[in-house]
């Protein structure tokens, strides 16, 4: 368990960094992979973008198709309303997760560091998601910046 306790998460998409924080103090930083088309905010299902904005960690999922996952509260009410007005699906199932369970971790480890590969999620290594999963509680705020 990381100490001090984690009370917020900051993601910097352009830097491919995720910071677990206590107040403004960074407790731990991780190199991340993002959606396959990371520039710009997620708008709709299938755009392969990682959302931007303020969300929360909704729940822990030990039975994910990836090695553990933490669900992010995308889309928010404003994004849902914009999707209704624009007549499109905003997407969902945005997570912080490890590698796909169907791919041996040793094959994925090096590729992960050099390529954005998710459908809009934030990916870390399997060892890292285990640490994050244990340190972050449901309800923790997460800010995702461009």
pTM, rounded to two decimals: 0.93
> Is residue 122 one of the residues assigned to a domain?
yes
pLDDT number for residue 104? 76
> Is residue 137 one of the residues assigned to a domain?
yes
> Is residue 3 one of the residues assigned to a domain?
no
pLDDT number for residue 114? 74
Nearest-angstrom CA–CA distance, 112 and 29:
16
> Is residue 139 one of the residues assigned to a domain?
yes
pLDDT tens for the chain, 146 residues long, are 788 899 999 999 999 999 999 999 999 999 999 999 988 999 999 999 999 999 999 999 999 999 999 999 999 999 999 999 999 999 999 999 999 998 777 777 666 667 899 999 999 999 999 999 999 999 999 999 99
Q: Which residues pair with 69 in a beta bridge?
A: 61, 97
In sequence order, which ranges of 7-125 are alpha helices (DSSP H)?
A: 77-86, 105-114
Nearest-angstrom CA–CA distance, 131 and 84:
38
> Is residue 53 one of the residues assigned to a domain?
yes
CATH code where residue 88 lies:
2.40.440.10
pLDDT number for residue 112? 66
Range of the structural domain that residue 131 is part of: 8-145
| Number of independent structural domains in the chain | 1
Cβ atoms of residues 74 and 55 within 8 Å: yes
- Residue 17: is it exposed, middle or buried by C-beta count within 10 angstroms (0-12/13-18/19+)? middle
């Amino acid at each position: 368990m990381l100490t001090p306790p984690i009370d917020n998460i900051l993601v910097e998409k352009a830097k491919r960094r995720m910071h677990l924080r206590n107040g403004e103090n960074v407790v731990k930083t991780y190199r991340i992979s993002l959606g396959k088309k990371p520039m710009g905010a997620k708008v709709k299902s299938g755009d392969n973008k990682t959302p931007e904005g303020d969300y929360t960690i909704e729940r822990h999922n030990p039975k994910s198709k990836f090695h553990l996952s933490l669900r992010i509260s995308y889309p928010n009410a404003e994004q849902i309303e914009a999707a209704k007005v624009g007549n499109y699906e905003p997407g969902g199932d945005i997570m912080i997760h490890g590698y796909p369970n169907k791919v041996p971790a040793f094959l994925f480890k090096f590729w992960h560091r050099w390529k954005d590969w998710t459908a809009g999620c934030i990916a870390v290594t399997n060892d890292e998601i285990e640490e994050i999963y244990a340190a972050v509680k449901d309800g923790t705020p997460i800010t995702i910046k461009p």
